[in-house]
């Protein structure tokens, strides 16, 4: 993952990007979440490869695994 993801304070204020591009991890994740197909992303962004998309997914998964936020399921919270 770290071979394909870069965090540089000079690029997008330090947001995680696909290394060698200005394409952020959150862009890739959001496009996938909105139904874009991996093949379409690769066609639309020729500077990224399939392995880059997998690295973005892995990066996002590791972030969600690190932070545990309890969800209040009481009626007052709903």
Residues spanned by the domain of 39:
5-69
The verdict on residue 78 lying in a domain is no
The verdict on residue 77 lying in a domain is no
The verdict on residue 20 lying in a domain is yes
- Whether this prediction's pTM lies above 0.85 is answered by no
**Per-residue confidence (pLDDT) for residue 24, from 0 to 100:** 96
> 20-67 pLDDT, tens per residue?
999 999 999 999 999 999 999 999 999 999 999 999 999 999 888 765
Q: Collect all residues with Cβ–Cβ distance below 8 Å to 5 and sequence separation of at least 6.
A: 16, 17, 18, 19, 25, 55, 56, 59
Sign of the alpha-carbon torsion through 20, 44, 23, 69: negative
54: left (phi over 0), alpha (psi -120 to 50) or beta: alpha
The verdict on residue 74 lying in a domain is no
Domains contained in the chain, number: 1
Beta bridge partners of residue 18, listed in sequence order: 5
CATH number for position 21:
1.10.10.10
> 9-23 pLDDT, tens per residue?
998 899 999 999 999
């Amino acid at each position: 993952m770290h071979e394909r993801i870069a965090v540089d304070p000079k690029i997008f204020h330090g947001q995680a990007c696909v290394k060698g591009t200005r394409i952020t991890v959150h862009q890739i994740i959001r496009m996938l979440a909105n139904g874009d197909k991996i093949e379409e992303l690769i066609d639309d962004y020729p500077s990224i490869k399939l392995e880059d998309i997998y690295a973005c997914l892995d990066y996002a998964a590791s972030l969600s695994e690190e932070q545990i936020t309890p969800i209040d399921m009481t009626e007052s919270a709903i």
